[in-house]
Structure 1
Amino acid sequence: METFSTMTGTSDRPDRPDRLDRSDRPDPFESLLRLTARDLTTDERIQRAIGVGREYLGVDNGVLSYTGEGRYEVVETNIEGGPYAQGGVVDLDGTWCRHVVGTGETIGFADAVDSEYRDDAALEATGLRCYVGAEVDVDGETYGTLCFSDDEPRSDPITDRERDFVSVLAEWVGAELERQKHYAELRDQNDRLDEFAGIVAHDLRNPLAGAIGFTELAQDAVSGQVAEFLGRVRSSLDRMESMIAECLLLAKEGADVGERTETALEPLVRDAWDTVQTRNATLTVELAPDTTVVADEMRLRRLFENLFRNSVEHGGPTVSVTVTGDGRGFAVADDGPGLPPEVESALVEADAENVKSFGLGLLVVQRVVSGHGWDLSVTSSEAGTRFEVTDVNAAEPIHHGVDGN
């Protein structure tokens, strides 16, 4: 039977990690921490994590596998050829990883010939003498394994610290895969929501536009009480148009946020202010220098627009609005008459019904905050209202690779 080493061509390579002085190995946990902090796609993170494990263990091969339905499918690896290259599929029963999948335990040996696995079928099937593997879980279910191996035995035993590190690395990889999966689900959900919103916008707005147009024509042709009645009809139609726009916006902002970018706050705040009918209201911006927020830029802009609109509509035409903030969060305060107590408490408690009683704009604000996973606090009195958003940079920016992951 052709073995792993002859299929992959890994033997006698001059750059084998185990040819290095093992006392000079970098701390793998520090390497993993640096990797976590870097701006990489999920695939790039996993590829580099495999490199960290290979270097630390001093072995040729690193493989992330999917083991569903009794098969062993190679998801990520440094192996460039043969059945164990990326995308390769082999029978799980012929691999060392079947022991990991069967028990859920991390296993490792420096030389299979000198271990309890000396007569195991995987020794002949793969040709691998040295092996360390751990289970990878995604959403509480077995996804596959993360393993490191070599066709030559290692001179020193696999230590408990090395097994523990491979276990930690497998947990880290599982978390990366979970995140990738959840963001893909969010993108699909948001795509469906956009499709629905488009249908609603077309099917409701087209006949509404016709009703508004014919009402305007009728107003031009009549006078007296009939004109007054048509004026009320026109006002109702205009309100319907506004409500459709608000509902579509709410549907969009209500979705959970997937991709985020680092956004400069001050120019976004000033642009949002310029889009709102602020009449004689005044804006003061007191932000720490170069303040940024990790967010969906468009939804963050909608949040400020709705807070500004709320201040002007309920605080009066000469209301003063102040925006403050730093890297931990931001606040929008005004000197208007304040919110009703039930609306103030409903905003903090995420009580949508009571929030809607004060207009859909504040519900949009609440949904944007919750969609980002931020924290919202509201204080209001006769002297004014203050909306404070905190924990804004707890999540890192999300970047997708060329395959959309």
Structure 2
Amino acid sequence: MKHSNASNSLSGEAARNELYALLHRSLPRKQAIERVVQIGANYLNLDHGHITSIDEAENQWEVIGSTDSPDGPYPDGLTAKLSDSYCRRTFQQSSPLALHDAGNQGWEDDHAYQLHQLDTYLGIRINAFGEPYGTICFVESEAREDPFSEVEQIFIELAGQILQKVLEETHHEKDLANRDRLISVLNRVLRHNLRNDLNVVHGNAQLLIEQTSGDEAKLASNIESKTTGLISLAEKARKLENLTRSVPVARPMDIVPIVSQTVSDVCDDHPTVNCSLDTPEQAISFAAPQLADALSELLENAAKHAGKEPAIDVAVHRNSDQITVQIEDDGPGLPPDERRILSGESEQPLSHGSGLGLALVYWILTNLDAEIDVATASSGTTVEVHLQRAESIPSPGN
């Protein structure tokens, strides 16, 4: 039986002040989330604190911020069935769920209690944009002597409200920036690329109707080529729109399979390009499946603009805090307007559709909190994508 909050390392007033202070600091979403849960764990004097996002329809529960290390019971990135957790109850109510001795408070037959044997639990639902989003909760296997006090329950209500503001404000800021840039890019593409290409298609179609000579095959091929380009542009525009509607959530994952499969797919589509790939057996970083789209665009761009003896060298490097994907080509170098797109600067008039693909790269990597470096020389271009390194991948249901 553990004592109550007499040994708290952080007083209630200090904990509340630290939470309020977060509202006046411009911290990245991930850092703000982790700070809230750390403040709570210190104040409540409990071993484990974590914040989750919940998809009730899919019965899924995912940790998006935690006090645990990667080998702890509730590490960042852990996913499990919602029905296996105490949070299923928390998510269905607006008031805190407070258990100081769950086994003797009517939970002894509960599936989550039998599975995890947690006697201490304090959690509350987090809302965002008027809808239930997830939970913040603090747990421990050992029971407490005393129930959670009213002050402690008010504290976790405050933590939930602070998290709501953090989630809404950071999402709103990214959403506004993404939408502004999306409108700018799409307007320019619609005015320039699509309009000009459609004029070409229309002109060739008219000529094809008038011509009866052997030029028909050439003109038909031209139409096919332009149509293929338009389809590609439309697909990239769709991906950009989807990305602004749902920001990717970075989680610990091995990116070697993603890199390997993407290199294989692109190089199969460009058999004249000599491709090389150098990766470690495993490279765990904070990433998302959308990383494949970003790498595919970078590799496609390199393949299409390679030199006389086209070659692309891809390597994955690990250091103490980053995983780097390096892409080198022997082409004429990335034009200045396209380098500006990858750095997030305002778009310049695009001479072809690759600008939209590079904008897609920028959005994906920015939303994964990744960094991108571009070095261009007469002998080619080197692009480096830097991702935050993770220690391990949580086991499902761990």
TM-score w.r.t. structure 1 length? 0.49
2:265 to 245, 256, 275: 275
Which residue of structure 2 aligns with residue 30 of structure 1? Answer: 47
Task: Letter of the 1:341 partner, please give it.
Answer: P
Structure 1 residue runs without a partner (length 5+): 1-19, 51-61, 67-72, 82-132, 149-153, 186-207
Aligned-pair CA distance for 1:46 = 8.9
Which residue of structure 1 aligns with residue 302 of structure 2? Answer: 311
* Other structure's SS at 1:309 match: helix
Alignment of 1:246-395 (within 5 A): 246-259=236-249, 262-276=252-266, 277-297=269-289, 299-316=290-307, 317-326=309-318, 328-330=322-324, 331-353=326-348, 358-393=354-389
- The 1-side partners of 2:167 and 2:79 are apart by 12
Aligned-pair CA distance for 1:366 = 1.3
Counterparts in 2 of 1:165 and 1:360: CA distance versus 1, 3 Å: same
Task: Letter of the 2:75 partner, please give it.
Answer: A
Kept after mapping to 1: 8 A contact 2:333/2:377: yes
Task: Letter of the 1:290 partner, please give it.
Answer: Q
Q: Which deviates further from its counterpart, 307-316 or 233-242?
A: 233-242
Bigger relative contact order, structure 1 or 2, given CA contacts below 8 A and separation 6+?
2
Kept after mapping to 1: 8 A contact 2:274/2:312: yes
Which residue of structure 2 aligns with residue 241 of structure 1? Answer: 231
Which structure dedicates a bigger proportion of its chain to helix?
1
Structure 2 residue runs without a partner (length 5+): 9-43, 50-66, 108-121, 139-143, 173-197
Kept after mapping to 2: 8 A contact 1:286/1:322: yes
* Other structure's SS at 1:332 match: strand
Counterparts in 2 of 1:302 and 1:156: CA distance versus 1, 3 Å: closer
Cα displacement string for residues 147-188 of structure 1 (whole angstroms, at most 9, x for unaligned residues): 99xxxxx99999xxx898666644554566678889999xxx
Cα displacement string for residues 299-337 of structure 1 (whole angstroms, at most 9, x for unaligned residues): 221222111111111123522322223362323222332
- The 2-side partners of 1:155 and 1:228 are apart by 85
Cα displacement string for residues 52-80 of structure 1 (whole angstroms, at most 9, x for unaligned residues): xxxxxxxxxx99963xxxxxx67787676
Task: Letter of the 1:37 partner, please give it.
Answer: P
State the structure with more CA Rg: 1
- The 2-side partners of 1:388 and 1:30 are apart by 39
Q: Give the share of equivalent positions with the same residue, in percent.
A: 16
Which residue of structure 1 aligns with residue 31 of structure 2? Answer: none
- The 2-side partners of 1:349 and 1:296 are apart by 20
- The number of equivalent residue pairs is 280
Task: Letter of the 2:283 partner, please give it.
Answer: T
Kept after mapping to 1: 8 A contact 2:341/2:355: no
Aligned-pair CA distance for 1:344 = 1.6
* Other structure's SS at 1:322 match: strand
Counterparts in 2 of 1:285 and 1:165: CA distance versus 1, 3 Å: farther
- The 2-side partners of 1:157 and 1:270 are apart by 53
Q: Which deviates further from its counterpart, 247-256 or 308-317?
A: 247-256
Counterparts in 2 of 1:394 and 1:351: CA distance versus 1, 3 Å: farther
- The 2-side partners of 1:333 and 1:242 are apart by 24
